Amino acid sequence: MSQRVVYMDNNATSQVAPEIVAAMLPFFGDKYGNPSSMHTFGGAVARPIEEARGKMAALLGAAPGELIFTSCGTESDNTAINAALMSHPEKKHVITTRVEHPAVLNYCQDLVRRGYEVTFLPVDRQGLLDLDRVENAIREDTAIVSIMWANNETGVIFPVEEIARMAKAKGAVFHTDAVQAVGKVPINLKDTAIDMLSLSGHKLHAPKGVGVLYVRKGTRFVPYIKGGHQEHGRRAGTENVPYIVGIGKAAELAGANMKEENTRVRALRDKLENGLLEVEATMVNGDREQRLPNTCSVSFEYVEGESILLGLSDLGICASSGSACTSGSLEPSHVLRAMGVPFTAAHGSIRFSLSIYNSEDEVDYVLQHMPPIIERLRAISPFWAKAKKDGLLGAACNTPGYVEP
Ligand code: PLP
């Protein structure tokens, strides 16, 4: 009998919806034309692209002409920042946060090496931004403020609509990486001051390898990938027709499923989280209110996240840890470090990210198996025994806010 799989790692990638596979299949079959061709056979695939654009525009409250199809969220993020810098060459300052996805963070770190000045805004112990600090950081020479809508590790939501207004008032372009937010929070771009927004198909039950960049009409834009005239000259390269059709279908489904994400999925996440918090010396990372409905980042003090993941994986449970193996040592993630989560807790952090495909039975399965895993690992941990003896358990939960180095 094949092993049961309980997939709770949807912020990493999500199951491709069967409806999306079905919508894509004809474009791997007899509808293989090039949408730029002059003949009717090629032209027949141009229309489905525009239909997909229309569906995504409806989900975002945007005009179809404001959307550019890209290869992924990373490409959208890189393109947005590059476009703002190239179209405002006199401005050499960029603002972002310390908790962005590497798609923005590493790009910005590279900008520093190229001579730009980048302000990496800190967050507090709950993973939240100080809005006065954001506003004060925006200067006359700030080309772009790029702040994520929702954090991929903690699910913490930033008030990007408010920050976009601040940026606009001071003449800076505002971009948001909404890769984790789309489909989970209502978005109506026409009512906001957001200039650019990135999203990715594979977090939305479409396949990996397709994304979207929204560019508000009137925003100055310079393409990142240059070549043919596709996407009205804003993103060259023959269109990935099946995947574009797939992300269009994903937008349609995401709109229809948004309510379920915010009711049934949220209730499942809360049940899971409350159950996990019953385990001794356990805490939630990130603000529990301003948060995505599907994400739960929990730290188990004095245990290695990687060991927990292996224990879970043996039972077919898929989640992720808040540490990354860098040069042979386990480093807590940059997000948890920026939040000032103590090492003893950051090392034992696990992220569960649910989707509409999860059931209550699966939550019960995780809750049944997690406590013995933690107990087993703590039983062999000398740190756990010492911390318990010294009365240090739970200390991580009470540490003060982030102190800037
Ligand atoms: N931004 C965020 C917040 C993400 O979570 C991810 C992927 O995990 C990305 C960007 C990158 O998206 P992609 O994998 O499509 O390049």
Q: What is the 3-state secondary structure (H, E, C) of 231-251?
A: HHHCCCCCCCHHHHHHHHHHH
Q: Could you give the 3-state DSSP secondary structure of residue 302?
A: coil
Q: What is the mean pLDDT of residues 21-33?
A: 97
**Dist. CA 240 → ligand 1 center (Å):** 19
As for ligand 1, residues whose beta carbon falls within 6 Å of it are 72-74, 77, 101, 103, 148, 152, 177, 179-180, 200, 202, 211
Residue 134 amino acid letter? V
Q: Is 72 a catalytic residue?
A: no
**Dist. CA 300 → ligand 1 center (Å):** 26
Tell the residue nearest (CA) to atom 13 of ligand 1. Answer: 73
Q: What is the mean pLDDT of residues 64-68?
A: 98
Per-residue pLDDT at 402 exceeds 50: no
Tell the residue nearest (CA) to atom 8 of ligand 1. Answer: 12
Weakest mean pLDDT among 47-56, 114-123, 206-215, 380-389: 380-389
| Averaged confidence pLDDT in the chain | 94
**Dist. CA 92 → ligand 1 center (Å):** 25
Write out pLDDT tens, residues 238-258: 999 999 999 999 999 999 999
Is residue 9 within 8 A of residue 358, CB to CB? The reply is: no
The atom of ligand 1 lying closest to the CA of 100 is: 3
The atom of ligand 1 lying closest to the CA of 71 is: 15
pLDDT at 397: 56
The atom of ligand 1 lying closest to the CA of 74 is: 16
Strand partners, 95: 119, 145
Catalytic residue, candidates 72, 318, 325, 397? 325
pLDDT at 73: 98
Question: Cβ atoms within 10 A of the Cβ of 91, count?
Answer: 19
Distance CA 363, CA 88 (A): 50
pLDDT at 332: 86
pLDDT at 328: 56
pLDDT at 392: 83
**Dist. CA 191 → ligand 1 center (Å):** 25
State the pTM of this model: 0.96
Q: What is the mean pLDDT of residues 150-163?
A: 98
Buried b (16+ CB within 10 A) or exposed e, 210-245: bbbbbbbeebebebbbeeeebbeebbeeebbbbbbb
Pick from 151, 200, 210 the residue to mutate for probing ligand 1's pocket: most ligand atoms within 8 Å of its CB. Answer: 200
Per-residue pLDDT at 389 exceeds 70: yes
Q: At what angle do helices 241-260 and 46-60 cross, to 10 degrees?
A: 30
DSSP 176-199: EE-TTTBTTB---GGGS---EEEE
Distance CA 240, CA 262 (A): 31
Distance CA 90, CA 366 (A): 54
Distance CA 354, CA 269 (A): 7
pLDDT at 239: 97
Write out pLDDT tens, residues 294-343: 999 999 999 999 999 999 999 999 999 876 655 556 788 999 999 999 98
Per-residue pLDDT at 137 exceeds 70: yes
Pick from 175, 180, 202, 294 the residue to mutate for probing ligand 1's pocket: most ligand atoms within 8 Å of its CB. Answer: 180
User: What is the 8-class DSSP label of residue 157?
Assistant: B
**Dist. CA 73 → ligand 1 center (Å):** 5
Distances (CA, A) of 9 to 162, 247, 321: 30, 20, 10
**Dist. CA 78 → ligand 1 center (Å):** 11
Write out pLDDT tens, residues 254-274: 999 999 999 999 999 999 999
Distance CA 241, CA 87 (A): 29
Q: How sure is the predictor about 401, in pLDDT bands with cuts at 50, 70 and 90?
A: very low
Residue 305 amino acid letter? G
The atom of ligand 1 lying closest to the CA of 72 is: 15
Q: How sure is the predictor about 90, in pLDDT bands with cuts at 50, 70 and 90?
A: very high
Write the CB contacts of 48 (distance below 8 Å, at least 6 apart in sequence): 27, 31, 241, 244, 245, 248
pLDDT at 383: 87
Distance CA 341, CA 345 (A): 7
Pick from 101, 148, 208 the residue to mutate for probing ligand 1's pocket: most ligand atoms within 8 Å of its CB. Answer: 101
The atom of ligand 1 lying closest to the CA of 75 is: 16
Residue 144 amino acid letter? I
3-state DSSP helix/strand/coil percent for the chain, to nearest 5?
45, 15, 40
Q: What is the mean pLDDT of residues 147-153?
A: 98
First to last CA, the chain: 53
**Dist. CA 399 → ligand 1 center (Å):** 30
Distances (CA, A) of 73 to 78, 205, 236: 9, 14, 16
Per-residue pLDDT at 81 exceeds 90: yes
Tell the residue nearest (CA) to atom 10 of ligand 1. Answer: 73
Per-residue pLDDT at 404 exceeds 50: no
